[in-house]
Copies of this chain bind each other. A is one copy, B any other.
Amino acid sequence: MWRHEQNVRDLEAQWNASATMNTGIRNPEGATEIEEVGRASISRRAQTIQDSPIRKLSATAEARKRRGIRVFHLNIGQPDLPTSPVVFETIRNLQLSTLAYAPSNGLPQAVSAWRNYLRVMGIDVEESEIIVTAGGSEAIIFAMCAICDAGDDIIVFEPFYTNYNGFASIANVKLNPVPLTIQNGFHLPPTREIERHITSRTKAILICNPANPTGTIYTRDELQRLCDVVRRHNLFFLSDEVYREFAYESSVQSVMDFPEITQRAVLLDSSSKRFNVCGARIGALVSHNREIVQSAFRFGMARLSVASIEQLALVPLLNSPRTYTDPIVQEFKRRRDVVYEGLKEIPGVTFYKPEGAFYIVIGLPVRDSEHFSKWLIEEFEHGNETVLLAPAQGFYASTGKGTNEVRLAFMLKTEDLKRSLVVLRYALEAFGRQF
């Protein structure tokens, strides 16, 4: 598996090297004498799009490894488990003579398979209500474009999945953050607090359920409250349910479960996490609202199609999902339990028991978790081991939030998770003595 971190370090080294080179040749020999006006600059949205908050520390982690330190990665959200061999067998057995454009809404086998998968999950939709997308990422971008014009806003609950910022940037949409708090395990605040944030440009509420980065699963009552809000304020209700199966105590209510909002609900989904096929880039946008689906279809027609091979490779998994997801979910439940128990042993940490997904946001007894995380990966070691964390500030849109928080992702086998939390405990002790 190729390491992103090394790739980015190389890229940045080359970008920095080229910055010292000639940035353009004015009137080279033989060229027309032109009165050149300035230097074309990139857009404001390109200037402001966030760099990945996780990336900065990854480069340091690689440097530490080269010096012989073992680094436990608690920072990344990509499952560490192997992909089912069925995916590769299916690909090897494909009988294709040509790699032609698929239909813009997806190959019929893929659309049908998504429908079957959703039905197993208790979500009943027609094939005409499904658009296969290039990952959940594209589903979200299409939903934003279908619902919002430039400058409209979408209510999100912070901390939220950082990449929503990037999608909003592409779609020219403002994310309108309603703060959550670790004090109640990042569940929803009172309805009036949510409604207080709605503006004249608000077009939708977007949730992730189960949530990244918090692992929170919204209760039926919480979702009902959001249904009431979207009906009162004439909004759409976008629900990112990519972690649907990762629910350890109770099942997840889907946004599609609420009959009074059939025309407002838009389900955004991805095959990546539940099937360990992150590199396939296959997701779906699903809605009973015909205009929404037609809009997504038209945006889909512009980019023509989603890659055919991956659509076909996932059909066996979608058609028999629990065979593939049950073992994965069981493993992550074990990991969730191990992390929860391990956190109990660390003095001064604020935590809760995440109901789903494979993340938790915890509060550390430090003033600045970015500073702590940097020190941890740059300097600290215990038995030649250290930990890479994801500071939580990157998951908040508002500045000054989550300053003592980090997100842990459970991407290690249980004994490594246990050990990494022990290392974290030692680190906090040492840090507390030093700063």
Q: Are A304 and B232 in contact (CB under 8 A)?
A: no
A279 within 8 A of B: yes
Q: In the complex the two chains form, is B18's CB within 8 Å of A290's CB?
A: yes
Is there a chain B Cβ closer than 8 Å to A327's Cβ? no
Contact of A149 with B43 in the complex, beta carbons under 8 Å: yes
A414 at the interface (CB under 8 A from B): no
Asked if B15 and A303 sit within 8 Å, CB to CB, the answer is: no
- A307→B24 CA distance, assembly (Å): 34
Q: How far is the CA of A36 from the CA of B103 in the complex (A)?
A: 37
Question: Smallest distance from the beta carbon of A251 to chain B beta carbons, Å?
Answer: 20
Interface residues of A in 96-132 (CB under 8 A from B): 96-105, 107-108, 126-128
How many copies of the shown chain assemble into the complex?
2
Residues in B neighbouring A307, C-beta threshold 8 A: 134, 279-281, 307, 309-310
A267 to chain B, nearest CB (A): 15
- CB proximity of A22 to chain B, nearest CB, Å: 9
Q: Within 8 Å of chain B (Cβ to Cβ): is A430?
A: no
Q: How far is the CB of A304 from chain B (nearest CB, A)?
A: 6
Do B232 and A11 touch across chains, with their CB atoms under 8 A apart? no
| Closest B residue to A49 using CB positions | B298
Q: Which residues of B contact A87 (CB under 8 A)?
A: 99
Find the B residue at minimum CB distance from A46.
B295
Which B residues are CB-close (under 8 A) to A50? 298
Q: Does A228 contact B (CB under 8 A)?
A: yes
Give the residues in chain B near A384, CB-CB below 8 Å.
none
Name which residue of chain B comes closest to A128, CB basis.
Answer: B14
* Cβ < 8 Å to B, chain A residues 59-111: 78, 81-83, 87-88, 91-92, 94, 96-105, 107-108
Residue of B nearest to A13 (CB): B128
Q: At the interface, yes or no: A246 with Cβ under 8 Å from chain B?
A: no
Decide: A260 near B31, CB < 8 A? Known: A36-B232, A279-B101, A302-B137. yes
Given A1-B98, A305-B279, A299–B146 Cβ distance below 8 Å?
no
List the B side residues contacting A8 at CB < 8 Å: 103
Segment at the B interface, from A161-169, A176-184, A207-215: A161-169
Chain B nearest Cβ from A313, distance in angstroms: 8
A15 touches B263 (CB 8 A): no
Within 8 A of B (CB), among A252-307: 259-264, 276-281, 288, 290-295, 297-299, 301-307
Q: A40-B236, A96-B88, A260-B31 known; A149 and B45 CB under 8 Å?
A: yes
Q: Which of A219-239 contact B (CB under 8 A)?
A: 224, 227-228, 230-236
User: Which B residues lie within 8 Å of A303 (CB)?
Assistant: 134-135, 137-138, 141, 163, 166-167
A367 at interface (Cβ–Cβ under 8 A)?
no
Q: How far is the CB of A233 from chain B (nearest CB, A)?
A: 7
- CB distance A97 to B82 under 8 Å? yes
Question: Does A316 lie at the interface of the complex (its beta carbon under 8 Å from any beta carbon of B)?
Answer: no
Distance, CA A290 to CA B12, complexed state (A):
10
Interface residues of A in 139-165 (CB under 8 A from B): 141, 145-152, 163, 165
Q: Are B91 and A309 in contact (CB under 8 A)?
A: yes
Question: 5 closest A-B pairs (Cβ-Cβ)?
Answer: A166-B302, A14-B128, A150-B150, A46-B295, A137-B303
Apart from A14-B127, A38-B234, 18 more pairs, CB < 8 Å: A2-B102, A7-B105, A11-B128, A18-B126, A34-B228, A37-B232, A40-B147, A40-B235, A46-B147, A46-B298, A135-B304, A137-B302, A138-B303, A145-B170, A166-B298, A170-B170, A280-B309, A309-B313
6 A/B residue pairs, CB under 8 Å, sorted by A:
A2-B102, A98-B279, A100-B279, A101-B279, A134-B281, A307-B310
